[in-house]
């Protein structure tokens, strides 16, 4: 494992209690950062804290990122506890059900957009002002290859992740002169609990589109994120980093 220097940095990782989010949190800790895990699953957060053992560098907050007031409270609590927020990894998201667009349940569509896109906006909206005041910040938003290409029978997920890409580009331009780097990653599917929300047919479809012939490993995502949130990433902002195993066409 390459050693990335994140000493004395504090990171917030949303959806940090499992899957890619937890892998990222563990990698950031290994690189010297302290980490706040934000997740809506309190029981899972408690289990993760036990897994990580007695560690003063880790804190956890139960946060619904689609609720603006909840995000604001969590941001204030994190700053009070740790003194600052240097890094945001906006990873939390849901897949939603698999339906054609004209059969997609409207309530489910709104839920996917609220968590996957509005949630990323709310986290950036709450945390960026703190980064502006300190003159430093690194943000990585977790989008998806679906946001570039659009997956059949996953229009809500695809649209939400396309929105994350555009949001990243807008925010990256707005903060480019403030020593704040804002980038996103577009992973192909990783075999995490999000698969529980998908049909077997959709999972098989996603695998068939990956030239490497396998799903993404969560540690492969965390390795890329660790560099993106480091001080070494001093120029690149508003960019999209591919993690699709060769699937991406642009």
Please pick, among 104, 136, 157, 250, the residue that the annotation labels catalytic: 157
- Which residues in 167-206 are b (16+ Cβ under 10 Å) and which e? bbbebbeebeebbbbbbbbbbbbbebebbeebeeebeebb
Rounded CA-CA distance 144/209 in Å is: 14
- Which is nearest to 124 in space by CA: 157, 160, 149, 91? 91
Do β-strands 87-90 and 34-39 pair in parallel, antiparallel, or remain unpaired? unpaired
Reply yes or no on whether 157 is catalytic.
Answer: yes
46: number of Cβ within 10 Å: 13
Rounded CA-CA distance 168/138 in Å is: 12
Contact 188, 103 (CB under 8 A): no
Contact 124, 171 (CB under 8 A): yes
Rounded CA-CA distance 178/103 in Å is: 45
Kindly state the tokens that stand for 85: 């927020």
What are the residues facing 12 on neighbouring strands? Answer: 36, 88
Residues classed as catalytic? 157
């Amino acid at each position: 494992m390459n050693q990335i220097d994140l000493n004395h940095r504090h990171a917030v990782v949303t959806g940090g209690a499992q899957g890619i989010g937890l892998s990222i949190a563990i990698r950031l800790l290994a690189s010297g950062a302290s980490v706040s895990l934000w997740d809506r699953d309190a029981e899972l957060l408690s289990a993760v804290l036990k897994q990580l053992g007695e560690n003063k560098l880790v804190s956890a907050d139960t946060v619904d990122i689609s609720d603006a007031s909840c995000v604001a409270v969590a941001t204030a609590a994190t700053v009070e506890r740790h003194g600052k927020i240097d890094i945001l990894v906006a990873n939390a998201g849901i897949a939603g059900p698999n339906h054609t667009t004209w059969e997609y349940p409207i309530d489910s569509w709104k839920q996917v957009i609220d968590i996957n896109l509005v949630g990323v906006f709310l986290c950036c909206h709450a945390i960026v002002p703190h980064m502006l005041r300190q003159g430093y910040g690194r943000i990585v938003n977790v989008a998806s290859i679906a946001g570039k290409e659009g997956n059949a029978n996953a229009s809500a997920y695809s649209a939400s992740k396309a929105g994350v890409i555009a949001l990243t580009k807008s925010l990256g331009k707005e903060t480019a002169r403030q020593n704040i780097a804002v980038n996103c990653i577009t992973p192909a599917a990783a075999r995490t609990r999000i698969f529980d929300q998908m049909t077997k047919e959709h999972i098989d479809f996603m695998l068939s589109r990956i030239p490497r012939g396998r799903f993404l490993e969560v540690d492969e995502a965390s390795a890329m994120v660790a560099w993106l949130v480091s001080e070494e990433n001093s120029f690149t902002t508003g960019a999209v980093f591919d993690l699709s195993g060769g699937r991406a066409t642009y």
